[in-house]
Amino acid sequence: MAWTDRLREHVKFVSPSGLEFPPLWKGDEISAEKRLGRHAYPNMDKEVVQDLGMNSREIPLAVYFDGPDNDKESRAFENALYEPETWEVTHPVDGLMRLQLVSYKRPIDPVESGNVTVFETEWIEPADDEDISVVPDPAADVEAAAEAAENAAADMGQDEI
């Protein structure tokens, strides 16, 4: 199966409350940046760099509602954008994603585009619960080490009795 067979005709949004929206989409650029700890020292020309992993992907989606009811459909979409929590978004190229809305713009230009309502949306891809569960907890490690030290000290005291 070729990539053209996997390409979807439009983006599909499902709001946190389950409302579905299938606006048109023509393309955008997904981006991400590395998180870097950069440390400079006196009398040293270069920096020490600590790789802290990747930020969430930033996903802009410019979407278009067209047709005789584009005003009603786009107003319902705009109202749904205020719902808290993440959305399910079926991206035309990348498939199903869970995304968090960052911002949106709705340019209003009925003279030039009266039959189309445009939304310029910005989304990020948040970490999953599974991603968060593998993050080390330094405080728990310290507590475990302290408990192990207390147990070892107690065991040493028992041996002497």
Q: Are 13 and 20 in contact (CB under 8 A)?
A: yes
- Is-above-0.85 flag for pTM? no
Residue 98, pLDDT score: 96
Q: What is the pLDDT of residues 62-116, one digit of tens each?
A: 999 998 999 999 999 999 999 999 999 999 888 899 999 999 999 888 777 778 9
Q: What is the pLDDT of residues 28-37, one digit of tens each?
A: 888 999 999 9
Average pLDDT over residues 35-62: 93
Residue 55, pLDDT score: 92
Q: Which CATH class is domain 3-128?
A: mainly beta
Q: Where are the domains of the chain?
A: 3-128
Which position has the higher pLDDT, 26 or 48? 48
Distance CA 20, CA 11 (A): 11
Q: Are 11 and 93 in contact (CB under 8 A)?
A: no
